Structure 1
Amino acid sequence: MTNKQIMVCLDGSKSSIRALRTAILFARQSENTTIIGVHSDVSKGSPRTFSNPRIREQN
C-alpha cells in the first residue's frame, strides 16, 4: 500500500477553492492520501512565508 499526496495551490480565489474540493473528492476515493495545501505570500516582492493551514473536513 502506497501513500499518495495531492498538492493544491491556494490563493483564496474561487478556482483554488474548487481545486481543493476536487482534491478532497479524489482523496476520499483512495486510502492513505494526504492533501497538501500550498500558499505563498508574495506581497513583499518575493515568496517569504509558507503556511500549512489546517482544513477541517466537511461532510
Structure 2
Amino acid sequence: MGHSSISITLNIYTHVLDNIMEEEIKKFGVAKTQTPEEYYNEEIRRARISAMSHC
C-alpha cells in the first residue's frame, strides 16, 4: 500500500524534511550561543514539558 503517485509522496515528505531542516538550523544557531551543557539541559527541559502536556 502506498500513495497513488510519486508526486503525492514527495509533497508529503518534502514538507516534513523542510520542517526537520528548519529545526536543525535553529539548533545550530543556538549551539553558537550556548555551551553543550546548557543546550542539553534546555533539550531535557523541553522534553519534560512536552511529555507533561501529553498526560
TM-score by length of 1: 0.33
The structure whose residues are more often strand, as a share, is 1
Would you tell me which structure has more helix in proportion to its own residues?
A: 2
TM-score with structure 2 setting the length: 0.35
